[in-house]
Chain A
Amino acid sequence: MTPSVGTKGLIFNEPLLWEKGVSGRRGFSMPTRDVEEAPLDESIRGDGPQFPDLSEVDVVRHYTHLSQWNFGVDSGMYPLGSCTMKYNPKTNERQASLPGFTGAHPLLPDSLSQGALQLLHELERYLAAVTGLPAVTVQPAAGSHGELTGMLVFYAYHKSLGKPRSKVLIPDTAHGTNPASAALCGFKSVPVKSNEKGVLDPTTISELMDEDTAGIMVTNPNTLGLFEENIMEVAEIVHKKGGLVYADGANMNAVMGMVNMADSGVDVLHLNLHKTFSTPHGGGGPGAGPVCVTTALEKFLPVPRVVKKGDETFALSWDHPDSIGKLHAFHGNFGILVRAYSYIRSMGADNLKKASQLAVLNANYIKENLKATYHLPYDRPCMHECVFSDKNQSPYKITTLDIAKRLMEYGFHPPTIYFPLVVSGAIMIEPTETECKNDLDAFIKAMKAIDQEARDNPELLTEAPRMTKVRRLDETLAARKPKLAG
């Protein structure tokens, strides 16, 4: 058998917190009481929650065990398409933990917030430099929060012209957050079919674009990993009818330093700092979704804005009457912004460009090496990700799901599966630039071995995984009889 990256090992069971507490145990160093107990109105006094009582050792063992059940980027290759699971630099963690940042209240007077305000201001400048769109807000707390911001800008823009519009064009390859964000702003999503080349066709856009359409939401490169080669024409058609172009920048990792998004016709774009800019995914966030816009749309950005005054100090500015308002209690996920800032300061322009080029090289390398084994619906040069399907394996009654579950046992996190929806049984692979050639070769070897197993010994796939802490889980039971709390 092909030597695998994944191997066996002993891990530990761990009960739920309330299954192991013993009343009276203490895990916390209670601060000294130096004031007397004050009278308390009995009508508002409650009993407090019956959390379990645990010792510090209990808690440390608990979470140490739990962590050992997880696969992270630090464990191995994590080729989730459109997620950009690149390496999370540890120096970023150090910078975000500096007490000057962690101990800072968001409503301190400007005079006591200069370091943070400078960081916010400079980060905005850097993101403008990467995208070509000069006006930036870093307030949105995630990509879809950024999408909502963008849709609110669309709404505000058309309202300011006295002509509110009701529709937004959305490609069939779009991430689900796109139509969801449009719907939050009252827009009706008009689906746009990609052509046989897997990209948007100007003719289709022409037919659909009208003066009741606020604009289009594109992802470029798209979720098939292909550059939207007609983007400039598409943007022109939309602009001609008075619409705006929104770009979902989730796939920005493919094009830093190579493509100027503003020049491609984009008016509003969001970035995912937890994708392109190396901030960690945290098991589901926190991320950050800054939004970059053209000068014409700057007045709509959320408040407060960060401004640099004549005396070179920084201040928060609230006087923006056309602003869409506020989406977050304070300035967004500041701790994440610190990490992204540190990444950009560590990389510089040349390395960011190289990162994109190597991300694209890695994806094409995998594509070339696997296309003889797995069905490739769009056999052309890809960007930073490539999409396969399970078509070649289905004669053996093997599905994309089976392939993914077997791949875990080889020591790799599976790619994104069953997305984009336009490819049946999609397998979307995005290696990112931080995977070295050895690891790519090991991944390719594993995928080929799995294909062979599909033919020779399919039970290895259908029964997978067997080496993990749990085997395949009954999701039907979880949905029919939801047990959401202990």
Chain B
Amino acid sequence: MKEISELTFPDDLRYAEDHEWAKQDGDTIKIGISDYAQDQLGDIVFVELPAVGDTFDKGGEFGTVESVKAVSELYLPMGGEIVGINEALEDTPEFVNNAPYTDGWMIELKPGNPDEYNALMDRPAYLDMLKGQES
């Protein structure tokens, strides 16, 4: 597993405690997992995603991500309705490892409460959290 300094965390995203990232794109929010999360999980073999139209509260479990030896639940950093899912992940789950912020995006959300986005951590705050976890 890599050191934090070797991992990437773009500036223009927000981050959640459970290592999801969120990116505002007009009315919708794109969501995935951070470089730290995919590095911790190892080779991803399967991503279980919800159906378009499903709704969840903030913190709701919207899917799972599997490596060979472990399964991690995915939690929504904000509540809302699923309006898009990345179907490419079915055949190419490795996008989550290789391109966690681009090809590896997981769901598109129409937020119930757009203010919840600003409550998420920015890059510096997320880095602080990660460094705190390691010690």
Contact = CB atoms under 8 A, between A and B. Distances in A.
Report if A and B touch in the complex (beta carbons < 8 A).
yes
Interface of A: 418, 475-476, 479-480
B96 to A, nearest CB: 11
Interface in B23-78: 43, 45-46, 66, 68-69
Contacts of A479: 45-46, 66, 68
- The listed residue with most A CB atoms (<10 A of its CB), out of B43, B46, B69, B94, is B43
Question: 3 smallest A-B Cβ distances: which pairs?
Answer: A479-B45, A476-B43, A475-B68
Interface residues of B, number: 8
Nearest to B92: A480
A253 B69 CA distance: 29
Contacts of A475: 68
Nearest to B46: A479
A475 B66 CA distance: 13
A479 B71 CA distance: 13
Contacts of A480: 43, 45-46, 93-94
Given A476-B45, A479-B66, A480-B94, 11 more contacts: A418-B69, A475-B68, A476-B43, A476-B68, A479-B45, A479-B46, A479-B68, A480-B43, A480-B45, A480-B46, A480-B93
A479 B43 CA distance: 10
B111 to A, nearest CB: 31
A197 B66 CA distance: 33
A205 B93 CA distance: 42
A418 B46 CA distance: 22
A418 B45 CA distance: 20
Interface string B72-113: 000000000000000000000110000000000000000000
Contacts of B68: 475-476, 479
Contacts of B45: 476, 479-480
A320 B45 CA distance: 48
A203 B94 CA distance: 46
Nearest to A482: B45
Nearest to A478: B68
B2 to A, nearest CB: 13
B15 to A, nearest CB: 26
A476 B94 CA distance: 10
A378 B94 CA distance: 39
Contacts of B94: 480
Nearest to A480: B45
A55 B64 CA distance: 48
Contacts of B46: 479-480
13 contacts: A418-B69, A475-B68, A476-B43, A476-B45, A476-B68, A479-B45, A479-B46, A479-B66, A479-B68, A480-B43, A480-B45, A480-B46, A480-B94
A480 B98 CA distance: 15
A475 B43 CA distance: 10
A476 B66 CA distance: 11
A481 to B, nearest CB: 9
B75 to A, nearest CB: 19
A197 B93 CA distance: 41
Contacts of B43: 476, 480
A475 B45 CA distance: 9
Nearest to B45: A479
A476 B44 CA distance: 8
